[in-house]
Structure 1
Amino acid sequence: MRVAIIHYWLVQMRGGERVLEHLCDMYPDADIFTHVVNRAKLSPKLAARRIHTSWISRLPFATRHYQKYLPLMPAALEALDLSAYDLVISCEAGPAKGIITRPDAVHVTYCHSPMRYIWDQYHQYRRESGMGARLMMPLFAPALRQWDMASAARSDRILANSAYVAARVRKFWGREAQVVHPPVDTALFAPADEVGEDYLWAGQLIPYKLPDVAVAAFTASGRRLHVVGTGPMLPRLKAMAGPSIRFTERLDFNALRAAYAGCKALIFTAEEDFGMIPVEVMASGRPVIAYGRGGALESVIEDRTGLFYHDNSPDGLLDALDRFEDWLPDFDPSDALSRAADFAPARFRAAIASHIDAALTRHEAKPAPWQALAPAMALQNQPALT
């Protein structure tokens, strides 16, 4: 069986690329297809694989400005020739599932998120884009939405990384999706002997993750916050931050592990599709204070591994911090470790393998359209009874 894995773009190592690594381990001979690739930014495991790119990669500055070619990506996907492959796995967060397969091939989509910049976060993305993008988005977004919904019918089975994403798949694509939570390498993290007084915020400093809510709340209260990450919001956040806030743009992996294990708690202000960082922090034996929407509801257990707040404003977070400090003496790090183990890679691989086997079996058992029509055609050709 020849296997192809379609990934939207490969220009950095984030959660989606970590999932791709596990799929590559499961299918070591699979070929990878993507729009653009920057091997220097990939892990050695991915950089060593056979990676084929769409014609988007031949456009000017495609590796850096691939988002600007989004309206062209449906045509680029459909131009990929996958006729040699029996099993196709598409990893969707940007355009990936719209490839065209053989009629007898099986196509399984693992959806990290329907493209949020054309669906539920369209207005936010447009508002925060430059003048050119603000003018162009209303022109190409309607056609891209139609293609995105229509191309969802090309998948034999859709898997979602959370129930939150499965609900969005149902809303935007009109398809049902089974939930398979992404793998988190929990064995790489461990509790520390000592815990500090700094809270931790970690991630990209971009608007939808709302780091400004955390910075404003901690500045107002004088509590200590360590912000780890970089992005376009960094200058504004530094300008609004008080003396109790410190920023680190990048940490190597060992330093990041130490920050997770040594923090008082993780502050998770984003409404994420799933969110791996809360699981990594729980695997480090520390609790999470999370905005009570999105994927965090599926990983954090309230009053056992952390707390939720529902007013995502500085005042709402300040109230959560007061409740958290009253609750913290009751926190047991073993609860966090146990919960994090639920998302270990072995569970992901077993679930993926089960769904793909079921899709293959169902596809083999289903008669081809001409086979289903054969009995009726044979009956029509019988002589009339007299």
Structure 2
Amino acid sequence: MRVAIVHHWFVTRGGGERVAECIASLFPQAEIFTLMADTPGIPDSLLTRRIHTSFLQMVPLARNYHRHMMPFYPAATESLNLRGFDLVISSDSGPVKGVRVDSGTVQICYCHSPMRYLYDGYESYRTRMGPVTRALFSATANRVRQWDMRAARAVTYFVANSEYVASRIQRLYGRQSMVIHPPIDLHRARVAEVPGQHYLCAGRLVGYKRTELMIEACARLGRTLRIAGSGPEEARLKKIAKASGITFLGEMTTEALWKEYAECRALLFAADEDFGMVPLEAQACGRPVIAYGAGGSLETVRGLGASPTGIYFGEQTVESMMEGILRFEANEAAGVFDTAIIQAWAAEFATPVFLRRMREFVLAKMPEAAIAMASIMSESL
């Protein structure tokens, strides 16, 4: 039994890389394939594993501008040599479901999301690009979209990271999928004795995260906001963050980030996210979430009602977020949010739950894979 794990790229560490790491832990002898990799983006447990990369690895600056490499995704994916493998599991938010495999090979695609910039978010992404990038993107997007849809037809089984993504897989690819939520590493969680009075937002500073809404809402309300993370929007956001209570923390170590989760008053989350691990990480530390009520947040945050873990605001506008913050504060003062209840909710998404469900799914579809699977699933991941 030969097993391959394929992940789109190991350039930065995030939720997708964590999923790939956990899947790989189920198959200790599996070989790892990716379009490109940079040591800081490779999970520690995979550093000693055999990792194969595509020709994009040799392209200067490709790892720094990996999203600009979209026209080359199909050729780079097909250049990966997956011949001779019995089982291929792809961790994919884009192209790598299209790897070429032998006839009879079982390919399970754990889909983080069909590529938003090719489908639902095409115009939104396109309008934020510079003139040269926009022209190249417009000229090549349809070809890559058609290739991606052909690749989806060749997948044996789909696993979606949320009900929201499962519905997109059905709508865009016409395929059914099993929902297995991503793993949250609860062993890093801690609870602050006395949380602070500031709000927190965390994650990559990219356009769809709508960080500017959080900045403006907190500025108008006179609330303190700490922003953890970096990204291409950082310079623009710093220009509009003129209030004295807005602090940019930059890229943080894992331990420092979890400390921020534990010490915040609540996490602000304004993205229409496919799943969103950041809200669950904050909830693992017992902190409530004020989230835009759409997409994956509807699955990761439990709104006002029985045993709430946060609240939703209805629109991606500054005014709606301000109303959400004020409504949260009123409910907080009434003692609505309970740290233990919030943590118990996050525990339902813990790493052992993910590992067990992935193991069960693989064995249900391919019982002979048992000989290649680890017998013990570590909670230390």
Structure-2-length-normalised TM-score: 0.92
Once residues 125 and 108 of structure 1 are traced to their aligned partners in structure 2, the CA distance between those partners, rounded to angstroms, is 29
Query: Is contact 1:149-1:174 (8 Å) kept?
Result: no
Aligned to 2:3: 3
Q: How does 1:126-141 map to 2 (within 5 A)?
A: 126-141=126-141
Query: Is contact 1:100-1:154 (8 Å) kept?
Result: no
Q: Does the alignment pair 1:22 with 2:22?
A: yes
Deviation at 1:160, TM superposition (A): 0.4
Query: Is contact 2:200-2:264 (8 Å) kept?
Result: yes
Q: How does 1:300-319 map to 2 (within 5 A)?
A: 300-303=301-304, 304-319=308-323
Aligned to 2:327: 323
Aligned to 2:172: 172
What amino acid is the match of 2:309? T
Q: How does 1:269-348 map to 2 (within 5 A)?
A: 269-303=270-304, 304-328=308-332, 329-348=335-354
Once residues 62 and 7 of structure 1 are traced to their aligned partners in structure 2, the CA distance between those partners, rounded to angstroms, is 16
Query: Is contact 1:205-1:229 (8 Å) kept?
Result: yes
SS at match of 2:290: strand
SS at match of 1:107: strand
In the TM superposition, structure 1's runs of 4+ consecutive aligned residues that sit over 3 Å from their partners are none
Greater RCO between the two (CA within 8 Å, min separation 6)?
2
Larger Rg: 1
Once residues 41 and 159 of structure 1 are traced to their aligned partners in structure 2, the CA distance between those partners, rounded to angstroms, is 24
Aligned to 1:382: none
Q: Does the alignment pair 1:106 with 2:112?
A: no
Unaligned runs of 5+ in 2: 370-381
Once residues 72 and 239 of structure 2 are traced to their aligned partners in structure 1, the CA distance between those partners, rounded to angstroms, is 38
Query: Is contact 1:15-1:276 (8 Å) kept?
Result: yes
SS at match of 2:98: coil
Once residues 327 and 269 of structure 1 are traced to their aligned partners in structure 2, the CA distance between those partners, rounded to angstroms, is 20
Which segment is superposed worse, 253-262 or 22-31?
253-262
| Identical columns (%) | 40
Once residues 299 and 15 of structure 1 are traced to their aligned partners in structure 2, the CA distance between those partners, rounded to angstroms, is 14
Aligned to 2:227: 227
Once residues 355 and 132 of structure 1 are traced to their aligned partners in structure 2, the CA distance between those partners, rounded to angstroms, is 44
Deviation at 1:105, TM superposition (A): 1.4
Once residues 251 and 36 of structure 1 are traced to their aligned partners in structure 2, the CA distance between those partners, rounded to angstroms, is 23
Query: Is contact 2:37-2:63 (8 Å) kept?
Result: yes
SS at match of 2:291: strand
Q: Does the alignment pair 1:350 with 2:351?
A: no
Which segment is superposed worse, 181-190 or 34-43?
34-43
Which segment is superposed worse, 240-249 or 28-37?
240-249
Superposed CA offset, 1:215-271 (max 9, x none): 011111111111112122223322222112122113323322221111110000111
Aligned to 1:371: none
SS at match of 2:90: strand
Deviation at 1:186, TM superposition (A): 1.3
Structure-1-length-normalised TM-score: 0.91
SS at match of 2:191: coil
Deviation at 1:362, TM superposition (A): 11
Unaligned runs of 5+ in 1: 364-386
What amino acid is the match of 1:8? H
> What RMSD over aligned residues (CA atoms) do the two structures have, in Å?
1.5
What amino acid is the match of 2:128? E
Once residues 273 and 205 of structure 2 are traced to their aligned partners in structure 1, the CA distance between those partners, rounded to angstroms, is 14
Change (3 A) 1:162 1:38: same
Change (3 A) 1:153 1:361: farther
Deviation at 1:305, TM superposition (A): 0.3
SS at match of 2:88: strand
Query: Is contact 1:156-1:359 (8 Å) kept?
Result: no
Q: How does 1:261-276 map to 2 (within 5 A)?
A: 261-276=262-277
Deviation at 1:48, TM superposition (A): 1.8
Aligned to 1:163: 163
Which segment is superposed worse, 6-15 or 66-75?
66-75
Superposed CA offset, 1:11-68 (max 9, x none): 1111111111111111111101111111243232222210111222233332223333
How many pairs were matched up?
363
